[in-house]
A and B are shown apart, each in its own frame.
Chain A
Amino acid sequence: MVSPILELTDINKSFGHVHANKNINLKINKGTIHGIIGENGAGKSTLMSIVFGLYQANSGSIKINGKEINLRSPRDSIINGIGMVHQHFMLVENFTVLENIILGFEGETVFGEKLQKAKEDLEKLCQTYNFNIDLDATISDLSVGFRQRVEILKSLYRGAEILILDEPTGVLTPQEVDELFKILRSLKDEGKTIVLITHKLIEIMDLTSEVSVMRQGEMVGHTKTEDTSKEQLAEMMVGRSVLLRVDKKEIKKGETIFKVNNLSVKDDLDVTRVKDVNLEICSGEILGIAGVTGNGQTELLEALSGIRKVESGSIELFGEKISDQNNFLNPRMLKEKGLAHVPEDRQRMGLISDFKAHENLIFGYHDQEPYSKSAILNNKEITEYSNKVMQEYDVRPNSPNLITSNFSGGNQQKIILSRELNENPKILLVGQPTRGVDIGAIEFIHQRLIDMRDKGAAILLASVELDEILSLSDRIIVMFDGKIVGEKENKNVTDRELGLLMAGVA
């Protein structure tokens, strides 16, 4: 019997009335990769933040190597050999790798011998685990995958024995994910313990030896990975069985609705991000755009929805030219022509987090009847409508007067979707519809998009989730460096194939 390196007993944590962790018990064995899986808002991140000392539990105890410890801050955790790699990296962009790693680490100075010593130690670490990092490179020059390695290296250098990774693959290409997994496996082989927080079942199956499942703040099961299956885990996560593939009727393709000719678009820094793109979308069809974030999808969607200026080329809707470099319709006018847009970044663009839910439900439609008459907002109509759609889209909690930032990510997304789909658009631009959304809601959102397609809407779907693209799209295009590098009918396409296109290798 191996004694657990980390043992949590009866951990409880509440935020106000929200019981984020209820009587959590967890044992993590030394030298294993332990997966913690659960929907968004299940309490995974809260639990790990307690282990990392960011939050203090209301009750319960934490033992490391059988010894009870009191974690008051991340400093205590680091001393006790716990390291954490956050979803959003905590790196200083204009510092070098070396500078970032020694930053704030006690006993080090940025001058002379000690720095040399630190550098040597780090180089040794890099070699042991095959990190392949240039310590003198500036962070801003590194790709996301490498930045993540810097974070891991930082934890290791500070003596981490237990490494917690919070949703590490969200921002990586499939190839980068492979690299990361290689590193994690070699860490395990060297005797380190890894805790992997994720909501992606594939990663759990691929990588972990043990898995714990959380649902609504409770630990609902522990199992060895080899004894379970994806379907079983998914069922435990949501408390019922879910469809992992969407049922989809045969495509009924109509006429071409939307046409983009030789489109180029620049970003705010005057860099051309979309280069000479041509595409067509027909009614009744979902066209998926696959690609790693930052390869022009954002700018493409913004140009198509009238937010961003067209640099050259043109856009046609129903055979009528709506935008070229000289003039373009603003989002309001496009809405009137039947275009709806679910933006990629809901916090930044899709809604106003300080507004109440009902105010966001009419956002962009606020000056139309019945929501406002001669410039005066009609509260009664807005509340009635809000109650109706919040019920229809199962937005929880169903309270139109709650400030939007108090809703979970998935429910915020439902607010946007209900708003944009409610008007029965003829063309729908969707960016990352399920980013940060839990499985139950993903299923619901996918079904809505399919319904829209069956009703004859033309849908352009941009997503970094290959699974999503593969399960929803009728046709797939891949963007790399602002160009379309591949177009395929969605028949027998593998994620491998797309992954290579996305990385610009094929």
Chain B
Amino acid sequence: MSNIVVDKSKVPWWVSNVIVPLVNLTLALLVSGLFVFIAGENPIEAVKLIIYGSFGYIQGFAYTLYYTTNFIFTGLAFAVAFHCRLFNIGGEGQAYIGGLGVFLVAINLSFLPVPIVWLLAIFGAFLFGAAWAYIPAYLQSKRGSHVVITTIMFNFIASSLMIFLLVDVIRDTNQMAPHTVKLPEEIWLPSFEAFSGILGIKIRYSPLNLTFLLAIASLFFVWFLVWKTKWGYEMRAVGHNTQAAIYAGISPHKNIIIAMCISGGLAGLLGVNEILGVSHKIQAGFPAGYGFTGIAVALMGRNHPIGILPAAFLFGILYQGGSEVTFEMPNITRYMFVAVQGLIILFSGALENLFRPQIESFFVRRLNREVNA
């Protein structure tokens, strides 16, 4: 066991919040490079491909931002619950049900003026996601059933429920696949190429759409909620010290419910991007693992919106650049990038404190020397 004792108050914020995550990330990428090498490809070439794929041309960049949008929602969802010390593993299911909310609102109220339909659909996504998170929250606060267990189970329930609905209830009956009809085109969210078309730039199709701005707004919303309102204050109080919260007259029950509902609601917003913005219908399995990757995004971003944005962007790069690599390098399969993500989660989540004491004490000593000199 290492004996390094670091006085936490002396560690500059940028060491623990920038340097340490960067070191962990670098390590994850180095190990990933090793994998690529073992698979018989040149890791440097792979990195070049990732950068080209995600930044090199405008359409690729648009794809990167589209993935980023999804990761922001699911990352924020995990972070909000985490401030109340709740491990919401159920982002996947909440996003799925959120998608149902978007679709039901949009298809049933499509006669209303378009911007109002959008607002109501966003609201519907939030509400459905929140409702799906409410049940585990209630079970946690009243019955003590751990949210980790219940939210995982609720992912399966959501998945089965949606398959049932997509096959038997809301399937587009003109075909056999488990998806719904398309929403009327006039209520689709404007896409990136529509915007660039106005500016006179013509680009090919990309799934990036107006939801990206909603994601940015959500970052502000979460920051404001958690640090600037009494609700956020109470949530954090319950998360840090439940006993003290009770002493101060703050209800843990109420705050667990609030935190989980907001968390579920944010996950639900993923449905806005996927359904109102991209595919315009509910397809079976559309959350496609974003809910789980959001956990890694939040952990890497240290549960703060300022960290979640670059973390979501990084995962966006990996998703988009990764598909470029698998396309160009036959030896690298899609699953390789699942492994890369796994490594990033491993190094920045599970092994987060592997090098933290050493790095922190290194900087503390160096800075002290500067002060003393």
Contact = CB atoms under 8 A, between A and B. Distances in A.
Q: Counting chain B CB atoms within 10 Å of each CB, which of A73, A333, A363 scores highest?
A: A363
Given A16-B7, A331-B249, A348 B230 contact: no
Given A331-B246, A349-B247, A355 B236 contact: yes
A137 interface: no
A428 B368 CA distance: 45
Contacts of A332: 248-250
Q: Counting chain B CB atoms within 10 Å of each CB, which of A18, A367, A403 scores highest?
A: A367
Nearest to B364: A16
B2 interface: no
Interface residues on B, range: 20 to 34
A18 B7 CA distance: 10
A41 B368 CA distance: 22
Contacts of A17: 10, 368, 371
A169 interface: no
Given A355-B240, A375-B231, A16 B246 contact: no
A215 to B, nearest CB: 22
B244 interface: yes
Contacts of A367: 230
A354 B240 CA distance: 7
Q: Counting chain A CB atoms within 10 Å of each CB, which of B8, B247, B364 scores highest?
A: B247
B237 interface: yes
Contacts of A359: 233
A352 B240 contact: yes
A366 B237 CA distance: 11
Interface residues on A, range: 35 or more
Contacts of A325: none
B174 interface: no
A332 B230 CA distance: 14
A351 to B, nearest CB: 6
B228 interface: yes
Given A372-B230, A376-B229, A377-B233, A305 B9 contact: no
A330 B244 contact: no
B85 to A, nearest CB: 11
Interface in A371-420: 372, 375-377, 379, 402-403, 406
Nearest to A343: B247
B249 A335 contact: yes
B244 A350 contact: yes
A111 interface: no
A376 B228 contact: yes
Interface string B266-297: 00000000000000000000000000000000
Contacts of B248: 331-332, 363-364, 366
A12 to B, nearest CB: 13
A381 to B, nearest CB: 13
A43 to B, nearest CB: 15
Q: Counting chain A CB atoms within 10 Å of each CB, which of B7, B244, B251 scores highest?
A: B244
A206 B34 CA distance: 69
A138 to B, nearest CB: 28
B323 to A, nearest CB: 41
Interface string A293-314: 0000000000001110000000
A16 B368 contact: yes
Contact of B230 (A331, A350, A375): A375
Interface in B1-17: 3, 5, 7-10
B237 A406 contact: no
Given A331-B249, A332-B249, A375-B231, A15 B7 contact: yes
A349 B244 contact: yes
B145 interface: no
B243 interface: yes
Given A307-B246, A330-B249, A332-B249, A352 B241 contact: yes
Contacts of A366: 230, 233-234, 248
A350 B248 CA distance: 8
A351 B9 contact: no
Contacts of B240: 352-355
Contacts of A330: 249, 251
B236 A377 contact: no
A266 interface: no
A199 interface: no
Nearest to A407: B9
A363 B228 contact: no
A361 to B, nearest CB: 12
A236 to B, nearest CB: 28
A363 B9 contact: no
A359 to B, nearest CB: 7
A187 B31 CA distance: 59
A395 B229 CA distance: 26
Contact of B9 (A331, A341, A343, A402): A402
Contacts of A334: 249
Contacts of A348: 241, 243-244
A379 B228 CA distance: 8
A353 B8 CA distance: 13
Contact of A350 (B3, B247, B250): B247
Nearest to A368: B230
Given A352-B240, A355-B236, A364 B7 contact: no
Contacts of A305: 247
Q: Counting chain A CB atoms within 10 Å of each CB, which of B240, B246, B248 scores highest?
A: B248
A429 to B, nearest CB: 11
Given A349-B244, A363-B237, A364-B249, A377 B7 contact: no
A363 B7 contact: no
Given A363-B237, A376-B229, A406 B243 contact: no
Interface in B199-252: 228-231, 233-234, 236-237, 240-241, 243-244, 246-251
Contacts of B231: 375
Nearest to B367: A16
A355 B237 CA distance: 8
A352 B229 contact: no
Interface in A308-359: 330-335, 341, 343, 348-355, 359
Given A355-B236, A375-B229, A377-B229, A349 B9 contact: no
A403 B9 contact: yes
A303 to B, nearest CB: 13
B25 to A, nearest CB: 25
Nearest to A372: B230
A364 B230 contact: no
B213 to A, nearest CB: 23
Contacts of A331: 246-249
Contacts of B371: 17
A57 to B, nearest CB: 13
A306 B240 CA distance: 21
A346 to B, nearest CB: 9
B87 to A, nearest CB: 18
Contacts of B236: 352, 355
A363 B244 contact: yes
Given A331-B246, A376-B230, 7 more contacts: A349-B247, A355-B237, A363-B248, A364-B249, A366-B233, A379-B228, A403-B9
- What are the nearest 3 A-B pairs in CB distance? A332-B249, A364-B248, A16-B10
29 contacts: A16-B9, A17-B368, A17-B371, A18-B7, A55-B5, A73-B3, A306-B249, A307-B246, A330-B249, A331-B247, A332-B248, A333-B249, A335-B249, A348-B241, A348-B243, A348-B244, A349-B244, A350-B244, A352-B237, A354-B240, A355-B236, A363-B244, A364-B247, A364-B248, A364-B250, A367-B230, A377-B228, A377-B229, A377-B233
